[in-house]
Amino acid sequence: MKTKPKVIVICGPTASGKTGLSVKLAQAMNGEIVSCDSMQIYKDMNIGTAKVTKEEMQGIPHYLIDFVSPDKRYSVADFQNDSEKAISEIIAKGKTPIVVGGTGLYVDTLMYHIQYPEIETDLEYRKQLEEMIQEQGLEVAYEKAKEIDPQATEKISSNDQKRIMRILEIYHQTGKTKTQLEIESRREEPPYEYLVYAIDMDREKLYDRINQRVDIMINQGLIEEVKELLEKYKEFPTAMQGLGYKEVAAYLKSDMTKEEMIETLKQETRRYAKRQLTWFRKNKEIKWIDGLRPVEENIQRILEDYEEKEDKNG
């Protein structure tokens, strides 16, 4: 049987040290990095997404960062196409692809090679949903989605309007649940062999890092970044729903004080990190590494695993 090219994935919660580890790993094994982050794809959104800087990249090429306009929609199917194209380009150069990010849905899409059917958007139905949410609240839509597809709703936040609507729209359009379509779409073998690692960390330490990161973002000019975005773009199909952006936008509309905004942002980011960990823990193929151990030790472990796989495959 022909051996598949290997791809390393580094995932885990926000602020756990994925960027630093992945850059050093890429240096150690002649690798290039493919971002697996649903917010770092957007242009002009740098501070709030903790986008990797030129300095942090240390000369390592990064793909799928900073290339989508915030007023455009970008789907999971788009990510799958773009990331598999980037992975094949890296392999063609004789280098190792290293996929890095905290978006669990993106990681699953690659690992299981999920094929997303092209589903036409029924704009009339979308409008009805939006009106229903406006009048009756998002909770009603969430409960409706939960009735239709409990597995899919389990994976999302009860205030994630975009994904709640998606569950309802898919069912409306196809008569099948999102979960059912995903099961049907996993029938094709993934073209690559994925070695997936998630960074774990003592919860208190992680929360401290998150709180510090929010303070740094505010000092770096997150409020100004959101102001500029609101002035530059007319609409944000998804971008402004991102963590950090919706909170600052609420502050700019005087819905909360600056102190409340910072506290809310810290709390929401901690909750998000908890959800990320829950998502990754459900995946039994993921190996866990301790983010508080020296980076060199974690790299050593990944390199040993990789070489062992190479030897097995001969």
Q: CA 278, CA 301: separation in Å to the nearest integer?
A: 24
The reported pLDDT for the residue numbered 170 is 87
The reported pLDDT for the residue numbered 1 is 54
Name the residue with higher pLDDT: 143 or 189: 143
Contacts (Cβ under 8 Å, ≥6 apart) of 168: 129, 141, 144, 145, 148
Q: Residues 131-149: what's their mean pLDDT?
A: 91
For the cut 70, the answer to whether the pLDDT of residue 234 exceeds it is yes
Q: Residues 188-210: what's their mean pLDDT?
A: 94
Residue 314: pLDDT band with limits 50, 70, 90: low
For the cut 70, the answer to whether the pLDDT of residue 41 exceeds it is yes
Report percent pLDDT > 90 for the chain: 73
For the cut 70, the answer to whether the pLDDT of residue 180 exceeds it is yes
For the cut 70, the answer to whether the pLDDT of residue 181 exceeds it is yes
Q: DSSP 3-state assignment of 291?
A: coil
Contact between 294 and 276 (Cβ < 8 Å) = no
The reported pLDDT for the residue numbered 32 is 98
Residue 224: pLDDT band with limits 50, 70, 90: very high
Contacts (Cβ under 8 Å, ≥6 apart) of 261: 247, 248, 250, 251
The reported pLDDT for the residue numbered 185 is 67
Q: Residues 277-298: what's their mean pLDDT?
A: 95
Residue 238 carries which side chain, given as an amino acid letter?
A: T
* Listed range (42-51, 65-74, 124-133, 295-304) with the worst mean pLDDT: 124-133
The reported pLDDT for the residue numbered 248 is 96
Question: What's the mean per-residue pLDDT of the chain?
Answer: 92
For the cut 90, the answer to whether the pLDDT of residue 90 exceeds it is yes
* Listed range (121-130, 140-149, 300-309) with the worst mean pLDDT: 121-130
Classify each residue of 60-79 as buried b or exposed e, where b means 16 or more C-beta atoms within 10 Å of its C-beta: bebbbbbebebbbebeeeeb
Q: CA 245, CA 242: separation in Å to the nearest integer?
A: 6
Residue 254: pLDDT band with limits 50, 70, 90: very high
For the cut 80, the answer to whether the pLDDT of residue 148 exceeds it is yes
Q: CA 281, CA 314: separation in Å to the nearest integer?
A: 31
For the cut 60, the answer to whether the pLDDT of residue 309 exceeds it is yes
The dihedrals phi and psi of 96, each to the nearest 5 degrees, come to -95, 125
Tell me the angle at which helices 258-281 and 203-220 cross, rounded to the nearest 10 degrees. 140
Contact between 40 and 57 (Cβ < 8 Å) = no
Q: DSSP 3-state assignment of 195?
A: strand
The reported pLDDT for the residue numbered 7 is 97
Contact between 227 and 45 (Cβ < 8 Å) = no
For the cut 80, the answer to whether the pLDDT of residue 143 exceeds it is yes
The reported pLDDT for the residue numbered 310 is 80
Report percent pLDDT > 70 for the chain: 98
Residue 27: pLDDT band with limits 50, 70, 90: very high
Name the residue with higher pLDDT: 91 or 119: 91
Contact between 101 and 33 (Cβ < 8 Å) = no
Model's pTM, two decimal places? 0.82
The reported pLDDT for the residue numbered 51 is 96
